[in-house]
Amino acid sequence: MSKNILVTGGAGFIGAHLCDRLIANGHTVTCLDNLFTGSRKNIAHLETNSRFIFVRHDVQQPYVAEVEWIFNLACPASPKHYQHDPVETVQTNVIGMIRMLELAKRNGARILQASTSEVYGDPLCHPQDETYWGNVNPISRRACYDEGKRCAETLCFDYHREYGVDIKVIRIFNTYGPRMAKDDGRVVSNFILQALHGEPITIYGDGSYTRSFQYIDDLIEGMMRMMSIQDFTGPVNIGNPGEFTIRELAELVLELTGSSSEIINLPAVEHEPKRRKADISLCRERLNWEPKIELRIGLEKTIDYFRTVV
């Protein structure tokens, strides 16, 4: 059944792919974005669709609409961007979350909060499952994002307990794919662009830190399943449990691009998590979901995209 759906941060990398999926499924979508990190280019192909509306708006400001589902994705997600204005990042996470929860409460709407694996901080357990409370430094440069997202989760569950708001909380692990911003400073886009330009591949630290890399289509499928299921709030991890070192990623990018770039090591970034791997046991059990796209295949698709924009 067609629904009226609001997607905050809908012009961003993940948001634009989500809007595509929702429109393809026959829904009417309002995309809310202040374009701080999002881009109209990501949704340009949708703007002639009668079931798609773009509204330039800051999620921190009140917004009134009649909607049945809300996907709250509004927040800069790369360290380069969320550390640019850390106070703004905290406000987007906290005030923006309150605005959307209030909207959900007034409408009796279901709301999905796009949280993050960063709530686990630099984890002391491996892999990370949803019962782990995390190891986060509340006064680090990353805290504006980490703690902001943790507070947003708190607000979701308090609104659920106090007001009965129908919430969904997902924790997204590293996601990549076409329409990633070229300047977001994330490791996948950095490596691909450096390789395509013949520049040195820069690794911060010795390259032994690990991450789980998830292709965008897998994430969108997980989000749709989470939003559609009844009687399950989460939080739930959505990520690819494959674990790769940063050096392994760099070497694979070099192989797939055919680049002759060299790999160089720079000083490690302070408070950078050393290991990150998604435990998706709960996601498999409750959503019957697991990723389908292997890293090599996903990188090939992403490299093909970046070849068209460099």
Q: Whole domain around residue 72: which residue ranges?
A: 4-173+214-239
Q: What percent of the chain has pLDDT over 90?
A: 88
- Residue 80: pLDDT band with limits 50, 70, 90: confident
Domain for residue 181, yes or no? Answer: no
Domain for residue 250, yes or no? Answer: no
Is beta strand 4-8 parallel, antiparallel or unpaired with respect to 69-72? Answer: parallel
Residue 271 pLDDT > 90: no
CATH number of the domain at 107, please.
3.40.50.720
Does residue 300 sit in helix, strand or coil? helix
Q: 145 an active-site residue? A: yes
- Residue 305: pLDDT band with limits 50, 70, 90: very high
Q: What is the pLDDT of residue 120?
A: 95
Interatomic CA distance for residues 282 and 124, integer angstroms: 20
| Total domains, the chain | 1
Domain for residue 204, yes or no? Answer: no
Residue 56 pLDDT > 90: yes
DSSP state, 190? H
Query: Of 120, 145, 176, 215, which is the active-site residue?
Result: 145
Domain for residue 144, yes or no? Answer: yes
Domain for residue 105, yes or no? Answer: yes
pLDDT in tens, 133-190: 999 999 999 999 999 999 999 999 999 999 999 999 999 999 999 999 988 888 999 9
Domain for residue 96, yes or no? Answer: yes
pLDDT in tens, 222-243: 999 999 999 999 999 999 999 9
Domain for residue 310, yes or no? Answer: no
Are residues 252 and 192 in contact, defined by beta-carbon separation less than 8 angstroms?
A: no
Are residues 149 and 119 in contact, defined by beta-carbon separation less than 8 angstroms?
A: yes
Interatomic CA distance for residues 259 and 201, integer angstroms: 10
Domain for residue 178, yes or no? Answer: no
